[in-house]
Every structure is written in C-alpha cells, then in structure tokens.
A = this chain, B = another copy of it.
C-alpha cells in the first residue's frame, strides 16, 4: 500500500502535483477535493473566451476530469469542499452532498487559490456587476452579454483583468470606461508601460480615468450607473478587477503559518510550518529571486511549477519549487507589455538596493526592415552591486524578450554581464543590438 496524498483544490497547483506524484510513484493514492466543478483550467484564457476568440469555455480546460481519473488514476472528486484541516490527526473534513466525512492523509497539499478582492462598493449585488476569477464568473458574464443589450460598461481596476477585459468588451462594440485608483494603469509594470498602454487603449476608444475612486453602482435590479468621485455615469455592465486575495482561511484555522504578504508561508520545497503539509499556487508565498524574501505573485507558471515540484517531493524525489521573478506579460489590444523583477524604486530600496534605471526607445526589428515597431525598454539595477534588479518592455511586438531579463535575474547577472550576452540578430527579428542589450549599454554607462 502506498501513502495517501490529499490535495485541496483542483486547479493548476493541485492537478500538477497530483499528476506528477502519480507519474513518479504509481503506488501513491492521490485524492483531489475540488469544491467546484471545473478543474485544470486556464483562467488566463477567460478574457479571450469573452472576447469571442475561443468558442467554448471548455476549450480552456487543459485536462478533463475523465482524463485525470481514467488515464492518470487520480481520485478526483469535484463538488467536494474541504472545510477543516486537522494536522494533529492528519485528516481533513470534507463536505459533499449535504453530508461530511473525514479523510486521512500522509501528505497534504493546500492549493486553495485566491479570490477576487471585493471592495466595499455599494450595489455589488446588482445584476450585471461581475468579478472575473472563476470559470463560473466567465460563464455568467458570457450569458449576460448574450442575453442583455450591453452598450456601455465600467471596468474597475486597470490591472491585467482590466486591460484584457477592455479589449474583450471592445470587440462587442461596447463603450468602455476604465477606472483606476492609482496614477497609472498596470502599476506593477511601472510608469512607462502604464502610460504607453493607457494612451493606446484610449486610442482604441476606451475612456480611462486615473486616480479615480469608485464609490459603487446604482440600479434597481440591474446595474444602471457607476458612481465615481461623486458623479454618476450610465452603464449596463461592470467588471470589478481590483486584485486577488489568497484563500488562507482553512490554513489559518489549522494554525498553519501565514506570512506578511497574507499568503501561506512555505520553504524551498513548498512545505508549510507543518512537516507533511504543503501549499502551492495562488494561496502560497514563493521566494523572490532578486530579494530572497517571500513574495505573493499569484501567476499560473508559479502554481504549475510549485505543484509539480511538490508532487515529485511527495513521491520521494525531493525537488525545490524554485524562485519567482514576478515575470508577467499582458496583451492590451495591439500592444504587449511585460515585466520582471523589481521595478519599483521604493521597493528596491526597502530590499536594501540603491536602484538606478533607464528607459530607452529601440525597435523590434532592424530599422530598415518592414513591419517593425518601436519597443520601449526599462531596466533597473542596483548601483552598488551593479546587479540587474528588473525590467519592462512595451510595444506592438517583441515583448517576450522579457525572458532574457528574467533569465539574467535568475543568474544574478550584473548590467555589464547582461550587456555581453550573445543575443540573436537578423533584420526581420531584431536590430543588431537587441533592445535589451541597448538598454543594458545605456544603464551600464550611467551606473
């Protein structure tokens, strides 16, 4: 008989762990409790489903429940909600179909994810006011778009979901107003990216209100207006996307340590403060490669990678979950924006660095080659150690180059070292000096 592995949550972290654990050690009994019906889905694809570029919500499912059960021999139980963890007797309490039962485990993984932050807005329960955190949310918004004549919408929050939903709703010929409390949209991407993208989405017809606090919504049954800074604007739909918050209630109740970021503390193997309990994905902290400190960056790759590593560790072959650099990329109409590492100067100073940065305008291809476009690169380094701390890119093509900066962060390269990398050049793909190298050259001269 193999050990019993219990996993709470059937999305990226949970199903990656379940699959890897079984692949490494088929004697393991792997039970996954998922409170909803959807498992292993690409949440990041939801805006493109709502845009109409992906036919069925089911297309976002990477592996079906049947596949997990039949091909991978994983005991996947949807509609099962874990309501308590009992570390003292290695069991969890599970609610299903109105009843409860207790399930014992040898190893437990908490992969409870994150929930949309719900601000204290008036009228949040009106029809037509949505968040976009779950597949059910996506289904509901889609139904609303199909069944209601939506002519104008408010998007609250200028993060990923905000800009992606602006693109999605614009494809339905909806007038969009985006409200952002901060001075810039996409604030984790830095000021330069925020400005360029805001300008672009405004050219696409989206009205952007910066530094504007939303009070709430007004309407009878359905939303009729958004109220912001005391003034009302008529709308038929609202998407609230002001961030996510890790689901740590279960862990906290079981006296599992939650870190300063608000997510579950883990060690380099994804272990919590309790020996046989792991946490991964949007509910857990990860170690930032630049600061070495715990960070909460709820993104898909982090969840997949940590889940997979923990599955392997539980199977008896310890694998570190790895560090994160906070690398992210987002499409906003015709533009792409990408970021990695530490861009915010204050955050860099808090982490003990003396940041210096440059922003340069380069080109995605050789200047004479048709079809290229401007590419703006920001690079930040520590003036003492000369180490690269972070970077961003914004432009209509070529922003996946952020991976080069992310890899330089992973290797703790100095600016001079980054500048010396032998990056690929041919006129259809890059200037001779790739924009990343040009930024490194300029920053190196300034440092």
Contacts and interface: CB of A to CB of B under 8 A. Distances in A.
- Which of A329, A404, A410, A424 gathers most chain B CB within 10 Å? A424
- Which of A322, A422, A432 gathers most chain B CB within 10 Å? A422
A434 B305 CA distance: 12
A433 interface: yes
Given A368-B60, A369-B54, A406 B430 contact: no
B406 A59 contact: no
Contacts of A323: 420, 422
Interface string A304-330: 110000000000000010111111111
Interface in A406-424: 406-411, 413, 417-418, 420-424
A327 B424 contact: yes
Contact of A299 (B12, B320, B421, B425): B425
A425 to B, nearest CB: 5
A289 interface: yes
A378 interface: no
A408 B407 contact: yes
A205 interface: no
Interface stretch (A41-49, A87-95, A139-147, A150-158): A41-49
Contact of A421 (B410, B413, B421): B410
Interface stretch (A66-74, A174-182, A241-249, A395-403): A395-403
Contacts of A430: 329, 400
Interface of A: 12, 42, 44-45, 48, 53-54, 59-60, 160, 289, 299-302, 304-305, 320, 322-331, 336, 338, 340, 366, 368-370, 398-404, 406-411, 413, 417-418, 420-430, 432-434, 436-437
Interchain residue pairs A-B with the least CB separation, the first 8: A411-B411, A329-B424, A322-B420, A325-B422, A407-B407, A331-B428, A327-B422, A403-B423
Given A327-B422, A340-B422, 15 more contacts: A12-B432, A42-B427, A44-B366, A48-B368, A301-B437, A302-B422, A329-B426, A399-B424, A400-B401, A400-B429, A402-B424, A404-B407, A406-B423, A406-B424, A407-B418
22 contacts: A42-B366, A42-B432, A45-B427, A48-B427, A60-B368, A160-B426, A289-B422, A301-B432, A301-B433, A301-B437, A322-B420, A325-B422, A329-B425, A331-B428, A338-B424, A398-B400, A399-B424, A400-B401, A403-B403, A403-B436, A407-B423, A411-B411
